[in-house]
């Protein structure tokens, strides 16, 4: 990819003990983060783990291209890695010297990267938050509190934060808090994540790893800022769960101060970095544009398809947890006809998902009259190309429509199955027309084959009025049996030429109607 056409983002790899399970960096540019539970690599033949040794990993020209703050930052990250801590992510300004970008890339790759292409890479997720407590696992909806640290709060390796005064000056005190919430909400709008401002932050040091979030004390995610390397170069860096702390370079005033696109630079950097803060790493694509690619893209805002897949894999979709009848999503809340579905109503929802082999989604609905319900469950995601970070393009195409084989059932409120639809294979829609003659409560249950992966889908439900024949048309009194009172009621209606007495429905009232009624009377009630 040409470095002159896209904004460069550079970041480090988070490390802990264990085997490498993710990584996708390459030859030219670095990333905003890959979680790669790996041991730091030894230098070939050296037999040591060098610290404070840029010359071991970089060429003389690369070292010369780095300014002193950038050198110090790389050394700091390296020292943290060899102490067993997690290195944060670094994002770079679009005007960064390519030699600097390549230096970051090579330095980080030399320590820990494998060049492995993949679609979204979610290597970790939050397991403990101030709101949810402990025990969170894959697919659980999660609430993250965030706080902006007071100016003067110490950021380990950087100094005293000055983010608030910086944003007040560059964006405006009445503007940037809403932009920050919008940037974080972009993840909550497409997944089971919820970001809530914790207005209190008592100003404890922002370290790595930092103190856990506590309601009324500080957020799970803490956001601060300090001069890192000035205009150009590093824009921000971010840490992985269970930290997710973000540090913004307050030396990049012109970049963050641009109001273009409602401060899209500021918002997209925050949303991208928050993506790393929920555990997502980088992918690259030559066919599509995604938020978690290693380049800032201001042609869109918020997570795109592959980004959404990654977030929902970790935290479920926006309807989680709707995995039982009692917790099912209420489709009637947006019914066009009111509180109950009738003929002419329809409902369309998109970007929901089955996120693993145990997930199942319930959608409850109530009918207001006998209806025929048409249900379509269509896989979403499309086909897109992806490749390893920095590998120069190309790579394979991934069919996100065909990860899981979707199916669905329709049940009534007693749990009785009315329809069980599984007619197509993975990558194709499931479709059925289901008659619901009895007014009442039902549920559509969406499931998949037994595969531990994620499949996005859209659900479309439409309704037409169902003409239900009267099972006992001669019962004019509605008592459930036939006697002389029904005959009397029929004759009265016939005499008044009421529509229900037109038993030979031709608009005329004559002996044919009487004959047809007597025949129905003779058949009795079932």
Could you tell me if residue 1 is inside a domain? no
Contact 175, 167 (CB under 8 A): no
Residue 102 has pLDDT above 90, yes or no: no
Higher pLDDT, 73 or 388: 73
Q: Is residue 475 part of a domain?
A: no
User: What confidence tens digit (pLDDT) does each residue in 323-348 have?
Assistant: 999 999 999 875 454 579 999 998 99
Q: Within this chain, do residues 407 and 353 fall inside the same structural domain, yes or no? A: yes
> Worst-scoring range by mean pLDDT, 115-119, 145-149, 396-400, 504-508?
115-119
Mean pLDDT of the region 413-429: 96
pLDDT of amino acid 94: 62
Residue 324 lies in a domain: no
At 76 the pLDDT is 77
- Please tell me the pTM assigned to this model: 0.76
| Residues facing 501 on adjacent strands | none
What pLDDT, on the 0 to 100 scale, is given for residue 153? 97
Q: In the predicted model, what is the mean pLDDT of residues 428-445?
A: 96
The gap from C-alpha 110 to its chain's centroid, in whole angstroms, comes to 32
| Tokens 């403990």 found at | 128
pLDDT tens column, 20-62: 112 222 222 233 333 333 333 333 333 334 445 677 678 888 8
Give 199's pLDDT tier (boundaries 50, 70, 90): very high
Task: Tell whether 155 and 255 lie within a shared domain.
Answer: yes
Residue of 57 and 6 predicted with greater confidence: 57
**Per-residue pLDDT tens over the stretch 307-325:** 999 999 999 999 999 999 9
Q: Band the pLDDT of 387: cuts 50, 70, 90.
A: low
Do 174 and 143 sit in the same domain of this protein? Answer: yes
Judge if 213 and 265 occupy the same domain: yes
- Residue 472: inside a domain, yes or no? no
Per the structure, the count of domains in the chain is 3
Give pLDDT, residue 506. Answer: 87
User: Could you tell me if 301 and 158 lie in one domain?
Assistant: yes
Under the banding of pLDDT at 50, 70 and 90, the label for residue 174 is very high
Among 315, 337, 368, identify where a domain stops. 315
Kindly state whether residue 5 falls inside one of the protein's structural domains.
no
**pLDDT over threshold 80, residue 114:** no
| Mean pLDDT calculated for residue range 370-385 | 94
Last residue of a domain, one of 270, 288, 315: 315
d(CA 21, CA 16): 11
Tell me, yes or no, whether 134 and 275 share the same domain: yes
**CATH value at residue 258:** 3.40.390.10
Beta strands 246-249; 234-238: pairing state = antiparallel
* Exposure string for 479-488, b = 16+ CB within 10 A, e = fewer: eeebeeebee
Peptide bond into 242 cis (omega under 30): yes
Share of the chain above pLDDT 70, in %: 81
Whether 432 and 498 share a structural domain: no
Distance CA 64, CA 419 (A): 69
Supply the pLDDT for residue 392: 53
Instruction: For residues 447 and 489, state if they share a domain.
Output: no
Domain that holds residue 288: 13-315
CA distance 141 to 457: 18
Tell me: do 427 and 360 sit in the same domain: yes
Confidence of residue 4 (pLDDT cuts 50, 70, 90): very low
Is residue 6 situated within a structural domain? no
Contact 35, 104 (CB under 8 A): no
Q: Does 474 reside within a domain? A: no
Strand-pairing partners, residue 434, are: 373
Q: Where does the pLDDT of residue 147 fall: very low under 50, low under 70, confident under 90, or very high at 90 and above?
A: very high
Domain membership flag for residue 2: no
Euclidean distance between CA atoms 119 and 56, whole angstroms: 32
What's the pLDDT at 117? 37
Mean pLDDT estimate for the chain: 82
Residue 379 has pLDDT above 70, yes or no: yes
CATH number of domain containing 360? 2.60.120.380
Question: CA of 189: how far to CAs of 186, 245, 310, 381, 453, in Å?
Answer: 5, 21, 14, 17, 21
Residue 504, helix vs strand vs coil: coil
- Same domain for 202 and 346, yes or no, is no
Q: What string of H, E and C letters represents the secondary structure of 9-25?
A: CCCCEECCCCCCCCCEC
- Quote the percentage of the chain above a pLDDT of 90: 52
Q: Which two tokens stand for residue 287?
A: 């066919």
Residue 414 and residue 302 share a domain:
no
> Which pLDDT score is estimated for 111?
55
307 & 335 share domain = no
Q: Which residue has the tokens 């009692």?
A: 326
């Amino acid at each position: 990819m040409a470095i002159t056409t896209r904004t460069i983002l550079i970041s480090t790899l988070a490390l802990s003990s264990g085997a490498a399970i993710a990584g996708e960096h390459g030859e030219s540019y670095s990333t905003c983060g890959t979680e790669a539970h790996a041991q730091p690599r030894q230098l070939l033949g050296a037999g040591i783990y060098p610290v404070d040794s840029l010359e071991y990993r970089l060429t003389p020209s690369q070292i010369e291209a780095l300014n002193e703050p950038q050198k110090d930052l790389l050394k700091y990250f390296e020292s943290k890695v060899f102490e067993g801590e997690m290195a944060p992510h670094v994002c770079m300004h679009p005007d960064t010297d390519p030699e600097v970008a390549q230096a970051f890339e090579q330095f980080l790759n030399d320590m820990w990267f494998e060049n492995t292409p993949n679609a979204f890479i979610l290597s970790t997720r939050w397991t403990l938050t101030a709101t949810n407590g402990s025990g969170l696992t894959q697919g659980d909806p999660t609430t993250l509190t965030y706080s902006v640290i007071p100016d003067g709060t110490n950021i380990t390796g950087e100094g005293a934060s000055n983010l608030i005064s910086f944003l007040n000056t560059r964006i405006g005190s009445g503007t940037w808090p809403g932009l920050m919430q919008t940037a974080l909400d972009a993840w909550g709008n497409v997944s089971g994540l919820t970001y809530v401002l914790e207005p209190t932050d008592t100003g404890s040091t922002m370290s790595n790893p930092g103190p856990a979030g506590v309601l009324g004390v500080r957020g799970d995610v803490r956001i601060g800022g300090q001069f890192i390397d000035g205009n150009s170069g590093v824009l921000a860096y971010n840490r992985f769960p269970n930290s997710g702390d973000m540090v913004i370079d307050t030396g990049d005033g012109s970049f963050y101060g641009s109001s273009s696109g409602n401060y899209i630079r500021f918002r997209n950097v925050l949303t991208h970095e928050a993506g790393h803060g929920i555990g997502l790493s980088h992918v690259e694509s030559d066919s599509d544009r995604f938020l978690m690619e290693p380049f800032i893209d201001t042609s869109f805002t918020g997570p795109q398809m592959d980004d959404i897949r990654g977030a929902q894999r970790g935290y479920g979709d926006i309807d989680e947890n709707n995995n039982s009848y009692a917790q099912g999503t209420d489709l009637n809340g947006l019914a066009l006809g009111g509180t109950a579905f009738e003929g002419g109503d329809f409902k369309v929802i998109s970007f929901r998902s089955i996120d693993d082999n145990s997930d199942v989604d319930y959608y409850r609905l109530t009918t207001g009259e006998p209806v025929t319900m048409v249900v379509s469950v269509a896989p979403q995601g499309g086909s897109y190309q992806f490749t390893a970070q920095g590998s120069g393009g190309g790579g394979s195409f991934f069919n996100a429509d065909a990860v899981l084989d979707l199916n669905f059932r329709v049940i009534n409120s007693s749990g009785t199955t009315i329809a069980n639809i599984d007619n197509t294979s993975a990558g194709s829609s499931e479709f059925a027309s289901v008659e619901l003659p009895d007014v009442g409560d039902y549920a559509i249950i969406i499931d998949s084959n037994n595969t531990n992966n994620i499949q996005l889908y859209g659900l479309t439900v439409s309704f037409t009025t169902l003409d239900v024949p009267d099972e006992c048309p001669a019962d004019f009194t509605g008592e459930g049996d036939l006697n002389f009172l029904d005959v009397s009621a029929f004759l009265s209606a016939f005499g008044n030429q009421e529509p229900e007495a037109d038993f030979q429905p031709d608009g005329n009232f004559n002996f044919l109607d009487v004959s047809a009624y007597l025949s129905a009377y003779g058949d009795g009630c079932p």
